Structure 1
Amino acid sequence: MGKFVAAAAVALMVASAPLAVQAQERTEHEQRSYEIYRDIIAFRTAKGHGQVDDMLAYLAGRLSAAGFADEDIMVTDYDSEGDPTQGLIVRYRGDGSSQDKPIALLAHMDVVDALPEDWVRDPFTLTEDEGYLFGRGTQDNKYGVMNLTSTFIRLKAEGWTPSRDLYLVFSGDEETGMISTRAQAKWVAENVDPAYVLNSDAGGIGLADDFSPLAQQVQMAEKTFVTFDITATNQGGHSSRPRSDNAIYDLASALTKISQHQFPVRESALTRTYFGALGQSVPGKLGDAMRRFAEDPSDAGAIDIIRADPAYVGTLGTTCVATMVRAGHAENALPQSASAAVNCRVFPGEGVDSVKSTLEEVIGNPDIKVVQRAEATESEMSAFPDEVRSALSKALAKRYGTAIPMIPTMSSGGTDGMHYRALGYDTVAIGAGASRPQDIYAHGLNERMRVDQFYAGLDHWSVILKELAGN
Structure 2
Amino acid sequence: MDEKQKMQILADLVKIRSVNDHELQVANYLKRLLDAAGIENEILPLGGDRANLVATLGHGQPILGMTGHMDVVDVEAENWKSDPFVLTEDGDNLYGRGVADMKDGLAAMVITLITLKEQRVPLNGTVRFFATAGEEVGEIGSKALAKAGYMDGVEALLVGEPTGYRIINANKGTMNLTVKATGKAAHSSMPKLGRNAAKDLINVLHLMQAQFDDQMASVENTAMGGTLYNVDVLRGGNQVNAIPGSASAEINMRTIPELSNDQIVAQFTQTIDQYNREAGANVELIRDTNIISTQGNDAAKLVKLIQKIGDPYAAGQNLSDADKQREAQLLQLLDMPYDPDHILTMSASGGTDAAQLLKDQPVGFDYAVFGPGNDTQHQDNEYTSKQMYLNFIEIYQKLITAYLA
Compute the TM-score of the two structures, normalised by the length of structure 1: 0.66
Contact 2:142 2:357 in 1 (8 A): no
The answer on 1:462 being equivalent to 2:371 is no
Identify the match of residue 259 of structure 2 among 350, 374, 381.
350
| Cα offset, 1:383, TM superposition | 5.9
Identify the match of residue 370 of structure 2 among 423, 431, 436.
431
Paired amino acid for 2:380: L
> 2: CA distance between counterparts of 1:465 and 1:450?
22
1:199-348 paired onto structure 2 within 5 Å: 199-201=159-161, 203-205=163-165, 216-217=166-167, 219-236=168-185, 264-269=217-222, 271=223, 315-322=224-231, 336-348=245-257
- In structure 2, relative to structure 1, the CA distance for the partners of 1:189 and 1:67 (3 Å cut) is closer
Q: Which residue of 2 aligns with 1:152?
A: 113
| Cα offset, 1:256, TM superposition | 9.0
Q: Which residue of 2 aligns with 1:369?
A: 284
The answer on 1:66 being equivalent to 2:37 is yes
Identify the match of residue 422 of structure 1 among 355, 359, 367.
359
> 1: CA distance between counterparts of 2:190 and 2:14?
52
> 1: CA distance between counterparts of 2:114 and 2:178?
44
Paired amino acid for 1:236: A
Q: Which residue of 2 aligns with 1:77?
A: 45
1:31-70 paired onto structure 2 within 5 Å: 31-47=4-20, 50-68=21-39
| Cα offset, 1:148, TM superposition | 0.2
Length, aligned pairs only: 371
- In structure 2, relative to structure 1, the CA distance for the partners of 1:127 and 1:328 (3 Å cut) is farther
> 2: CA distance between counterparts of 1:377 and 1:389?
25
| Cα offset, 1:88, TM superposition | 0.6
Contact 2:66 2:128 in 1 (8 A): yes
| Cα offset, 1:335, TM superposition | 5.5
Q: Which residue of 2 aligns with 1:127?
A: 88
> 1: CA distance between counterparts of 2:250 and 2:267?
16
The answer on 1:405 being equivalent to 2:370 is no
Partner deviation per Cα, 1:353-399 (whole Å, 9 max, x = no partner): 4433676769x975443211245435554464236513541233256
Partner deviation per Cα, 1:270-318 (whole Å, 9 max, x = no partner): x2xxxxxxxxxxxxxxxxxxxxxxxxxxxxxxxxxxxxxxxxxxx4311
| Cα offset, 1:267, TM superposition | 3.8
| Cα offset, 1:110, TM superposition | 1.6
> 2: CA distance between counterparts of 1:357 and 1:424?
22
Contact 1:251 1:338 in 2 (8 A): yes
Contact 1:102 1:194 in 2 (8 A): yes
Segment drifting more, 114-123 vs 405-414: 114-123
> 2: CA distance between counterparts of 1:430 and 1:378?
14
Contact 1:102 1:167 in 2 (8 A): yes
What SS class does the counterpart of residue 413 from structure 1 fall into? Answer: coil
Q: Which residue of 2 aligns with 1:385?
A: 300
> 2: CA distance between counterparts of 1:324 and 1:228?
11
The answer on 1:169 being equivalent to 2:134 is no
| Cα offset, 1:461, TM superposition | 0.4
Paired amino acid for 1:458: I
Paired amino acid for 1:316: G
Segment drifting more, 341-350 vs 226-235: 226-235
Contact 1:201 1:429 in 2 (8 A): no
Compute the TM-score of the two structures, normalised by the length of structure 2: 0.76
| Cα offset, 1:75, TM superposition | 1.3
| Cα offset, 1:124, TM superposition | 2.8
Q: Which residue of 1 aligns with 2:321?
A: none
Q: Which residue of 1 aligns with 2:65?
A: 104
Q: Which residue of 2 aligns with 1:302?
A: none
Contact 2:221 2:258 in 1 (8 A): no
| Cα offset, 1:238, TM superposition | 7.7
> 1: CA distance between counterparts of 2:3 and 2:31?
19
- In structure 2, relative to structure 1, the CA distance for the partners of 1:137 and 1:256 (3 Å cut) is farther
What SS class does the counterpart of residue 27 from structure 2 fall into? Answer: helix
> 1: CA distance between counterparts of 2:18 and 2:203?
36
- In structure 2, relative to structure 1, the CA distance for the partners of 1:115 and 1:231 (3 Å cut) is farther
Partner deviation per Cα, 1:419-455 (whole Å, 9 max, x = no partner): 33332382412413254xxxx1323433322344333
| Cα offset, 1:328, TM superposition | 6.7
- Tell me, which stretches of 5 or more residues in structure 2 are unaligned? 318-339
Paired amino acid for 2:286: V
> 1: CA distance between counterparts of 2:45 and 2:241?
45
- Cα RMSD (Å): 3.9
> 2: CA distance between counterparts of 1:150 and 1:248?
55
Partner deviation per Cα, 1:52-109 (whole Å, 9 max, x = no partner): 11111111112212232xxx21112235xxx663111001134x6xxx4221111111
> 1: CA distance between counterparts of 2:351 and 2:246?
30
> 2: CA distance between counterparts of 1:147 and 1:162?
19
What SS class does the counterpart of residue 52 from structure 2 fall into? Answer: strand
What SS class does the counterpart of residue 153 from structure 1 fall into? Answer: helix
Segment drifting more, 141-150 vs 252-261: 252-261
| Cα offset, 1:223, TM superposition | 1.6
Contact 1:259 1:321 in 2 (8 A): no
Paired amino acid for 2:285: V
> 2: CA distance between counterparts of 1:121 and 1:465?
36
- In structure 2, relative to structure 1, the CA distance for the partners of 1:340 and 1:267 (3 Å cut) is closer
> 1: CA distance between counterparts of 2:357 and 2:348?
15
> 1: CA distance between counterparts of 2:79 and 2:189?
36
- In structure 2, relative to structure 1, the CA distance for the partners of 1:375 and 1:405 (3 Å cut) is same
| Cα offset, 1:241, TM superposition | 9.6
Contact 2:54 2:130 in 1 (8 A): yes
- In structure 2, relative to structure 1, the CA distance for the partners of 1:318 and 1:453 (3 Å cut) is same
- In structure 2, relative to structure 1, the CA distance for the partners of 1:224 and 1:157 (3 Å cut) is same
- Tell me, which stretches of 5 or more residues in structure 1 are unaligned? 1-27, 206-215, 272-314
Segment drifting more, 53-62 vs 368-377: 368-377
